[in-house]
Amino acid sequence: MAEILIVGGGVGGLTLALVLHQNGLACRIVEAAPEIRPLGVGVNVLPHGSAELARLGLVDRLEAQCIATDEANFFNRFGQLVHREPLGRAAGYAQPQLSIHRADLHLTLLEAVRERLGPDAVTLDRRVARFEQTDDGVTVHFAPDATGAVPPAIRADVAIGSDGIHSAIRKQLFPAEGDPKYTGYNMWRGVTRWQPYLTGASQTRVGWLANGKMVIYPIRRFDDGTQLINWVFEVETDQYRSRRDWNRPGEVADFMPWIRDWSFDWLDIPAMVRASDVVLEFPMVDQDPLPRWTHGAVTLLGDAAHPMVPRGSNGAGQSILDARCLGDLLARHQDDPAAALRAYEAERLPATTNVVLTNRKNPPDAILREVFLRTGDKPFARIEDVMSREEMLAITGGYKKVAGYDLERMATR
């Protein structure tokens, strides 16, 4: 049986460990962080991702902590409804769309790994310095830990780089790759404890990028009837405003001029944003798809393999799909793990490449782009005179097919 080392204890790495355990395979996880802290804000797990979490027996536990999103809404910056359609179970899927705080998702996965694989399955404070390959496997070397000591190297038959957007594994495989690709937009994210709006389980998009676009959805319920609302604001900017760090603090004042008039009968957005518990800033960057992920006994997974701009609610889901694919293939090819890595790349690299490129140009938000262009960024009398419902469903339906969660495909998986 192959010795499997997972580098990175995020959503993708932890899910892979659970899939491997489900398939009867052992593994070890090393994580660069010296401690696990509740970081980040909200994420969405689309039905294809939640289907895999259901196979791992985790959906009920997650659904108790999150909001099962039931509809998507698109509004222009004047608060006019452009389009509405059902999501998750309300749209006919067997599994929900999970809107959840990233920390809740991460902690649930971590607890499940420790319950099933043992309390020592994840080793913290192991920052990769380099790896080297030989004919019989790979050896991973580490930088000094928090005490200044250098941890012993780990030898494995297979090493999976699931170490995120700043992946040390990817950097060694592609040292000349260069800087991330800036899309021309900057993003601020935050969470606010607020009263429910619309159905209380609505994912809402407002405006368009030239004058600012916002995505809003609830991710937690509280006993007093309030919710934790996750929001994301994007706007065109000429250059990077911040480094690529998911947890860099931001300031509401930097983008308030764009949203100060966005007070609608269904939600007072400026008031909600001013009451935020946390504000983070991030440049909308990704990296061009790689020509390959697998180099001998080493491959990449999740954000380390395919960092994408966070549109379409797909980053976590694609990591989960990577984990299922790779975990099943490693079980199928136990006598030849390198063959499993090659098969995994052949299946997942083209699929995620399509998502990365579509997120740049035609995510579901493209509905709002078309309305913005066709109206000249002005209020409309009737949306039917601007854009047909069939056109809108073609945009959202096309994205579902690219991302792999259209109903037809989900029914046959």
Nearest in space to 191 (alpha carbons), one of 219, 160, 167 = 219
**Mean per-residue pLDDT for 340-361?**
93
> Among residues 316, 345, 360, which one ends one of the domains?
360
**Per-residue confidence (pLDDT) for residue 244, from 0 to 100:** 59
Q: For residue 183, give the DSSP letter.
A: E
CATH number, domain with residue 348: 3.50.50.60
- Residues 127, 147, single domain; the answer is yes
- Residues 202, 273, single domain; the answer is yes
Reported as a single tens digit per residue, the pLDDT across 49-63 is: 999 999 999 999 999
**Per-residue confidence (pLDDT) for residue 309, from 0 to 100:** 78
The C-alpha atoms of residue 12 and residue 19 are separated, in whole angstroms, by 11
Q: Note whether residue 55 is domain-resident.
A: no
Reported as a single tens digit per residue, the pLDDT across 292-330 is: 999 999 999 999 999 987 777 788 999 999 999 999 999
- Residues 301, 191, single domain; the answer is no
Range of the domain at 188: 68-95+181-287+362-412
**Per-residue confidence (pLDDT) for residue 81, from 0 to 100:** 98
Q: Note whether residue 338 is domain-resident.
A: yes
The C-alpha atoms of residue 206 and residue 268 are separated, in whole angstroms, by 12
- Residues 283, 340, single domain; the answer is no
CATH number, domain with residue 388: 3.30.9.30
Q: Note whether residue 63 is domain-resident.
A: no
Map tokens 């007093």 to a residue. 224
Map tokens 């910056």 to a residue. 77
- Residues 188, 76, single domain; the answer is yes
Q: Note whether residue 51 is domain-resident.
A: no
Q: How far is CA 239 from CA 243, 284, 373, in A?
A: 11, 10, 24
Q: Evaluate whether 44 touches 98 at the Cβ level (below 8 Å).
A: yes
Reported as a single tens digit per residue, the pLDDT across 42-96 is: 999 999 999 999 999 999 999 999 999 999 999 999 999 999 999 999 999 999 9
Q: pLDDT-based confidence at 359, cuts 50/70/90? A: confident
For residues 101 and 282, the model is more confident at 101
The C-alpha atoms of residue 115 and residue 109 are separated, in whole angstroms, by 10
**Mean per-residue pLDDT for 103-127?**
96
Map tokens 């990817």 to a residue. 170
pTM of the complete model: 0.94
The C-alpha atoms of residue 413 and residue 405 are separated, in whole angstroms, by 10
**Per-residue confidence (pLDDT) for residue 325, from 0 to 100:** 98
- Residues 314, 376, single domain; the answer is no
Quickly count: other Cβ atoms within 10 Å of residue 209's Cβ. Answer: 18
Q: Note whether residue 58 is domain-resident.
A: no
> Among residues 325, 342, 360, which one ends one of the domains?
360
The C-alpha atoms of residue 103 and residue 100 are separated, in whole angstroms, by 8
Q: pLDDT-based confidence at 1, cuts 50/70/90? A: low
The C-alpha atoms of residue 69 and residue 45 are separated, in whole angstroms, by 10
Kindly state the helix (H) or strand (E) to which residue 30 belongs, with its residue range. Answer: strand 28-30
Q: pLDDT-based confidence at 261, cuts 50/70/90? A: very high
- Residues 163, 292, single domain; the answer is yes
> Among residues 360, 382, 400, which one ends one of the domains?
360
Q: Note whether residue 276 is domain-resident.
A: yes
- Residues 215, 346, single domain; the answer is no
Question: Which residues, in sequence order, are CB contacts of 166 under 8 Å at separation 6+?
Answer: 244
Helix, strand, coil percentages in the chain from 3-state DSSP, rounded to 5: 35, 25, 40
- Output the six-digit token pair for 121: 């399955």
- Residues 398, 265, single domain; the answer is yes
Q: Note whether residue 167 is domain-resident.
A: yes
**Per-residue confidence (pLDDT) for residue 241, from 0 to 100:** 57
Give pairs for 237-241: CB < 8 Å, separation 24+: 237/184, 237/185, 237/186, 238/184, 239/182, 240/182, 240/186, 240/283, 240/285, 241/186, 241/281, 241/283
Burial of residue 284, with CB atoms counted within 10 A of its CB: 0-12 exposed, 13-18 middle, 19 or more buried: buried
Query: How many domains does the structure of the chain reveal?
Result: 2
Kindly state the helix (H) or strand (E) to which residue 162 belongs, with its residue range. Answer: none
For residues 238 and 16, the model is more confident at 16
**Per-residue confidence (pLDDT) for residue 243, from 0 to 100:** 61
- Residues 255, 201, single domain; the answer is yes
Q: Note whether residue 60 is domain-resident.
A: no
pLDDT at 278 over 90: no
| Pairing state between β 298-300 and 158-161 | parallel
Reported as a single tens digit per residue, the pLDDT across 159-212 is: 999 999 889 999 999 999 987 777 788 889 999 999 999 999 999 999 998 899
Q: pLDDT-based confidence at 245, cuts 50/70/90? A: low
- Residues 186, 248, single domain; the answer is yes
**Per-residue confidence (pLDDT) for residue 330, from 0 to 100:** 98
- Residues 106, 166, single domain; the answer is yes
